[in-house]
Structure 1
Amino acid sequence: MNAVLIAVIVMLVLSLARVHVVIALALGALIGGLLGGLGFEQTVSVFSDGLGGSAPVALSYALLGAFAVAIARTGLPEVMVSAVIKLVGKSQDSRRQALSKALIFFLLVIVSCFSQNVVPIHIAFIPILIPPILKILNELKVDRRAIATILTFGLTAPYIFLPYGFGAMFHEIIAENMNENGLPIQLADIPTAMAIPTAGLVVGLLIAIFLTYRKRRTYENRALIGVKQEKQDYTRASIIVAVIAILLTLVVQTISDSMIIAALAGIIVLLAGGTLKWKEADGVVTDGMRMMAFISFVMLAASGFAAVIRETGHVDLLVDQVANIVGDSQAAAAFLMLVVGLFVTMGIGSSFATIPIIATLFVPLGMAAGFSPLAIIALIGTAGALGDAGAPASDSTLGPTAGLNADGQHNHIWDTCVPTFIHFNITLFLFGWFAAMVL
């Protein structure tokens, strides 16, 4: 019995059963470690040592949460809500509401895609942009699951296909690991190979927006966690300072490549501009950390989980078992290779970290099965990306939840992970398999 498969299945089943995802990750890691022969003490030790892997990101989210709460207190959300209400009209005209929703969807797709390639800030924009517009989404009765799929699409599709920003890093990892394992390729080949799998993500996004989540859904107009319900006082100066703080945060994130420094820069601007009072700063930071505590703890637990399943050595064993099963069938080989990628990425929570693991054996396995270099690229790239959408411990799902659950009305598993898994992993799997067959 493969410890990686069991650990991931236990984690997913417990999460779907509404067991807290941190507990699900811990129990999955424990069971996986025991089945992998690590023993109780070593499993606990590896899990504990692995917790530090996501500490910088967890702290980043906590500080970005503080920045988001501070922005909410500037009155900027009130201005945005008022502007959209004027655009929509109090008559609840369906055509104007539809146009407003389409505009918001389009802008979120553009911003989230740009966050991977043009201005590579990754998930840093979500706690800043999404919480202030929740009231707007409520006014339009937008199903937040549609927003979750839009954000996850933007966090996933661009780096898979486009060789810029994080995409350049992803493509370089694929090329380097394939070269190291005996199959030299050119970076220019990767976009060609990944075009069909990326088309699968586009199809999944269109299905989510125009079919699955097109109906109206009602949410309560709650205050953000850490922000009082009463209307926020604001002036033109406070709005200007808030906008400057947001822009500076994005610029600093791009230059420093540190969400921690970026969030601190934004908070300093709000303090210097007088919109965040010095005596209120302690409470704002505490409230922001409270809002992002769930995400931070999931990230920490996910690092421990990934450390345990890597330590068992059963990831390589899983790939070896696949090699023994497929025989000469290309269709079966492609199918099982993608299944392995799905389980490994769901467990590790990172497509970037999955590529070096699976390329070691996917290259010789693909060559033995007679796949072309382009087909092997498509299999490795797709297998690495599978699970990034839908994984409880992935940035691509934790990021959207961080923003959409700022008022406590968005469930991480059922409102982000399940929708994104259904619409993206299934289509990516099918299109990735098809790519391997035709390239």
Structure 2
Amino acid sequence: MDSTVGALLGLLVAIGLIIKKVSPAYSLILGALIGGLAGGLSLEEVVASMTEGVKGVSSAVLRILTAGVLSGVLIKTGAAMTISNAIIRFWGEKRVYLALAFATMLLCAVGVFIDVAVITVAPVALSIGRRLGVPTPQLLLVMIGGGKCGNIISPNPNTIIAAENFGADLSSVMFANVVPALIGLLFTVFVIARFFPVPERRVHSDCETVADDRTLPPLWSSLVAPVVTILLLALRPLCGITVDPLIALPVGGLCGLLCMKQWKNALPSIEFGLQKMSVIAVLLIGTGTIAGVIQDSTLKDHILVLLDHISVGKELIAPVSGILMSAATASTTAGATLASASFADTILAVGVSSVWGAAMVNAGSTVLDHLPHGSFFHATGGVCELSFKERMKLIPYESLIGAVLTLCSTLMYWICR
């Protein structure tokens, strides 16, 4: 059997197992094993390919584990909730869509996972929705749209991995997608949100508050962790001083703890962040195995031939590979990992810079990362108490937001190259 067919078969096996609720990491490892054997490799060669694939993501795994310090601090101290509440109060209820989308975008942009960002903002959104009579699916959609916009400019695992595999500077990859993220935010708020009918607003007699801030840290101290992190990452493009994310992310989190005077919560915050990041790290090991098999297959060559036949520039391998791999894994992180690990050399060989290659792959990985065989679909639907059918109805609109982000990222590459 052709190695391309074998690689695709491995992906299908992995997807099928994930849909059947088998552990995603084990599903990907088994898919890699079956795909390699079906593609004509010996057992020894398959294991070697899988091992090389894991080696390719090892440095990203290390950075992701240290990113748990920042994520854990923001969530466990209540800083993430303080930031989201402040944004919503600043924009006001009349601009509720913009407020919710921007709050989720900012949380993702400072390093909070998109599902955690949605879960953090959701209680505020549901409270406002009950007060104003706004449908819950519409509220969830604007939060997801904002989260996707923040995800492509964040020091989250997907951006770290894409930058790592392309050999690009993380802060440069983050900044490259700022304009697409802002366009995506406006598209989410002023176009996508309008597809849903808005019922007549009904104000409840019981005056609900957005949240009780008395138990949360003040806004100025809540902003310290993300601001310090962003400043440290920005030193390279601004001053030529390189601070690796391995250092910047935990330092930002620890500075936030000090300024919030919550040093006693240091261990719980770090343990919480490590627990969250460990899930991603294990998932990356699984994606690394199947990425190794894909790299040793002829799949890249077939994609090049396909793009030639449809008269599309080879530069589009970057966004297209991100889209395809996010569909296969229903994960931005896994999609960015597979696409960048499998196609980085090919993308760089056609003249795309490392920064823009990583940026376009990252944007493409947001197009189909919300499919039902991934955890994001169920986590976001569950927190907003949507049925499976209600959650499914959001998929076309989520995909359209991701497509706009990818298109804008690609256009920015053509403008800036």
TM > 0.5: yes
- Give, in angstroms, the shift of residue 287 of structure 1: 1.7
* 1:420 to 1:56, Cα distance in 2 relative to 1, 3 A: farther
**Structure 1 residue 349 and structure 2 residue 336: aligned?**
yes
Question: Which structure has the larger Rg over C-alpha atoms?
Answer: 1
Unaligned runs of 5+ residues in structure 2 are: 130-135, 155-161, 169-176, 200-211, 236-241, 326-334, 352-356, 410-417
Once the 2 structures are TM-superposed, how far is the Cα of residue 344 of structure 1 from its aligned partner? 7.4
**For 1:335 and 1:204, how far apart are their aligned partners in 2?**
28
* Equivalent residues of 1:70, 1:267 under 8 A apart: yes
Residues 67 and 288 of structure 1 are in contact (CA less than 8 Å); yes or no, is this contact kept in structure 2? yes
Does 2:246 match 1:260? yes
Gaps of at least 5 residues in structure 1 are 89-95, 116-120, 159-165, 173-190, 216-229, 327-331, 364-379, 433-439
User: Deviation at 1:307?
Assistant: 1.6
Could you tell me how far 1:242 is from its partner in structure 2?
3.1
| Mapped contact 1:38–1:312 kept (Cα < 8 A) | no
* Matched residue, 1:227: none
Matched, 1:251 2:239: no
Tell me the secondary structure at the aligned position of residue 66 of structure 1: helix
Q: Contact conserved, 2:77 with 2:269, CA < 8 A, in 1?
A: no
Q: Distance in 1 between matches of 2:184 and 2:58?
A: 33
How far 1:18 moved relative to its partner? 4.0
**Offset of 1:258 from its aligned partner?**
3.0
- Distance in 2 between residues matched to 1:85 and 1:426, nearest whole Å: 27
Name which of 56, 71, 86 aligns with 1:68.
71
Alpha-carbon distance, 1:346 to partner? 3.1
Q: 1:113-124 alignment to 2 at 5 Å?
A: none
Check conservation: 1:65, 1:127, Cα contact below 8 A: no
Is the Cα–Cα contact under 8 Å of residues 97 and 142 in structure 2 kept in the other structure? no
Q: Which residue pairs with 1:209 in the alignment?
A: 193
The answer to whether 1:307 aligns with 2:292 is yes
CA drift of 1:247 comes to 1.4
CA distance in 1 between partners of 2:257 and 2:407 (Å): 51
Check conservation: 2:25, 2:283, Cα contact below 8 A.
yes
For residue 38 of structure 1, give the secondary structure of its aligned residue in structure 2: coil
The 5 Å alignment of 1:162-173 reads none
One-letter amino acid of the structure 1 residue matched with residue 248 of structure 2: A
Query: Which moves more between the two structures, 284-293 or 15-24?
Result: 15-24
Q: What amino acid is aligned across from residue 272 of structure 2 in structure 1?
A: D
2:263 to 257, 277, 292: 277
Displacement after TM superposition at 1:6 (Å): 2.6
User: In the alignment, what sits opposite 2:159?
Assistant: none
Are residues 30 and 425 of structure 1, via their aligned partners in 2, closer, same or farther at CA, if it must alter by over 3 Å? farther
Superposition deviation, residue 294 in structure 1 = 2.4
Q: What percent of counterpart residues are identical?
A: 16
Post-superposition CA distance 1:116-153 (Å, at most 9, x none): xxxxx8x5786996665343234235543442333324
Deviation at 1:419, TM superposition (A): 5.8
Q: Aligned partners of 2:401, 2:323: CA distance in 1, in Å?
A: 14
Relative to 1, partners in 2 of residues 1:29 and 1:57: Cα closer, same or farther, differing over 3 Å? same
Shift of the alpha carbon at 1:248? 1.0
Does the CA-based 8 Å contact 1:201-1:428 persist in structure 2? no
2:356 paired with 1:389: no
Change (3 A) 1:430 1:302: same
For 1:307 and 1:241, locate their aligned partners in 2 and report how far apart those are by CA, in whole Å: 43
Q: Is the 8 A contact 1:5 1:343 kept in 2?
A: no
| Alpha-carbon distance in structure 2 between the residues aligned to 1:86 and 1:286 | 31
Q: Which amino acid aligns with 2:95?
A: L
Structure 2 counterpart of 1:43, one-letter code: V
| Pick aligned residue for 2:14 from 6, 11, 33 | 11
> How far apart are 1:341 and its partner, in Å?
7.1
Which residue matches 1:137? Answer: 125
Relative to structure 1, the CA distance from residue 289 to residue 38 in structure 2 (aligned partners, 3 Å threshold; closer, same or farther) is same
* Structure 1 counterpart of 2:96: 100
**Deviation sequence 1:48-94 (CA, Å, 0-9, x none):** 33223333433434333333333344444564576578679xxxxxx
Q: CA RMSD in A?
A: 5.6
In the superposition, relative to structure 1, how do residues 73 and 213 fare at CA in structure 2: closer, same or farther (>3 Å)? farther
Selected match of 2:38 from 10, 35, 59: 35
Q: Deviations over 1:93-131 (max 9, x none)?
A: xxx64522323324656887xx6xxxxx8x578699666
Q: Secondary structure at the match of 1:136?
A: helix
Q: Could you tell me which of 241, 245, 248 is aligned with 2:221?
A: 241
* Distance in 2 separating the partners of 1:126 and 1:34: 35
Alpha-carbon separation, structure 1, partners of 2:345 and 2:284 = 21
Q: Whole-Å Cα distance in 2 between the matches of residues 383 and 84 of structure 1?
A: 29
- 2: CA distance between counterparts of 1:207 and 1:9? 34
Equivalent position SS for 1:312: coil
Match of 1:288?
273
Cα distance, 1:309 vs structure 2? 0.6
Letter in 2 for 1:423: L
1:257, distance to aligned residue in structure 2 (A): 5.1
Q: Assess if the C-alpha contact under 8 Å between 2:11 and 2:31 holds in 1.
A: yes
How far is 1:388 from its partner? 2.1
Confirm or deny that 1:152 pairs with 2:148: yes
**Which secondary structure does the structure 1 equivalent of 2:223 belong to?**
helix
Aligned residues: 342
Partner Cα separation in structure 2 for residue 124 and residue 426 of structure 1 = 22
Distance 1:37 1:420, change over 3 A: farther
Aligned-partner residue type, residue 54 of structure 2: L
The CA distance in 2 between the partners of 1:254 and 1:145, in whole Å, is: 31
Q: Tell me which residue corresponds to 1:25.
A: 28
What's the CA shift for 1:308? 1.4
The aligned counterpart of 2:400 is: 423
Measure, in 1, the Cα distance between the counterparts of 2:96 and 2:279: 31
AA aligned to 2:228 is L
Aligned-partner SS, 1:349 = helix
**Residues 320 and 130 (structure 1), Cα distance of their counterparts in 2 relative to 1, 3 Å cut:** closer
Q: CA deviation at 1:310?
A: 0.5
